[in-house]
Amino acid sequence: MVAYHLAEAGVSTAVLDRRDVGLGSTSASTALVLYEVDVLLSDLIKIRGEGAAVRSYEACLEAISKVERIVKQVGDCGFARKKSLYVAPSEKKAAVLREEYEVRRRHGFQLEYLDRPQIEESFSFRRPGALLSYDAAEVDPLLLTHRLLDYQLRRGAVQVRDRTAATRIARVDGGVVIKTDRGFDVTARKVVFATGYETMRYLREKVVRLKSTYAIATQPTPPFGGWGHDRCLIWEAATPYLYLRTTSDGRIMVGGEDEDFVNPTSRDRIIHSKARALLSKVRRMFPEAQLEVEYAWAGTFGETEDSLPYVGEVKGFPNAYFALCYGANGTNFAVIAAEIIRDLYLNKSNPDAEVFGFDRRIESARRGGR
């Protein structure tokens, strides 16, 4: 997304990826494109203040429409507008969501609060309360990545080298030189780190907590009832949380069951037990559905103090930008990061740079997220 925006602005851009393009965290994403972040707006206001918190939600909301416009330009990648349902597992959580509803409405967000009878009218599961948001989407993240790069490749606006590792980054007058394991160097005015949790070896300050997360995709399922509002996205205000959506070929994709450890061996050893747990939860929600798991996987997930990305420049690291889109809204955050980095490079003002920058002030510990 950063490469696409830079190329659109006329900036000569090269992309290096030590894997095949898109086969890192991108291909592991379940790609629920929500404007909500992992912290409720009412809690984010306490953490960041009203102005920054509301703007964070607004920027994520605007990003959905921006993705839609980009998709119309670069080609189909499974993008579809959806509603989203944020369900409360208990009466206590339902009261929290009711308060959240009032806060969001006060700040101009369009949504409904559904009580137990309204939920049971449209769904086969019972919950005491839920927020129904009108603005959400789903997308194939791997295909979107390739569409973005293919579009600019056809225009001659970017170069892409995958299976190419950057072995050393040296600062020189006016820019950087990137050494690669392929025996060639890349000379540039600026380098952008869009490398997720692997970026932390370059930064002194710890800005993220890593967790392991799990996901499944079922076989294509015959039609079944009990999933209202046009198969809306569903996520639950529970610990561990649960989120799910359907796909264009009739599957159900489910994620959650997070763990605090990040050791790949330990993480992957329990993929099958986590898959069974996720499948069991979905079967209880939709007893009519004939569900069988076809794919199961795990990945590393990053959380920040306020559940927002870190984007921009870092003191002591000249000629570099960072696009660290940690959190549950990677697609939205990528759009926000791309616009900020493009504007920084072009010396243009971007008010969101301060909201998502490394120097932002966080008032208190993270609380209340999914």
Could you report the per-residue pLDDT of 89-142, keeping only the tens digit for each?
A: 999 999 999 999 999 999 999 999 999 999 999 999 999 999 999 999 999 999
Whole-angstrom Cα distance, residue 169 to residue 192?
11
Torsion sign, CA atoms 281, 282, 286, 288: negative
pTM of the model: 0.94
- pLDDT tens, position by position, 270-279: 999 999 999 9
Domains along the chain with CATH numbers: 1-79+139-206+307-362 (3.50.50.60), 80-138+209-303 (3.30.9.10)
Q: 72-86, 291-305, 309-323, 356-370: which range is least confident on average?
A: 356-370
Whole-angstrom Cα distance, residue 30 to residue 294?
15
Whole-angstrom Cα distance, residue 170 to residue 316?
14
φ/ψ of residue 202, rounded to 5: -95, -15
User: Residue 365 has what pLDDT?
Assistant: 45
User: Residue 368 has what pLDDT?
Assistant: 41
pLDDT above 50 (res 302): yes
Helix (H) or strand (E) holding 169: strand 166-172
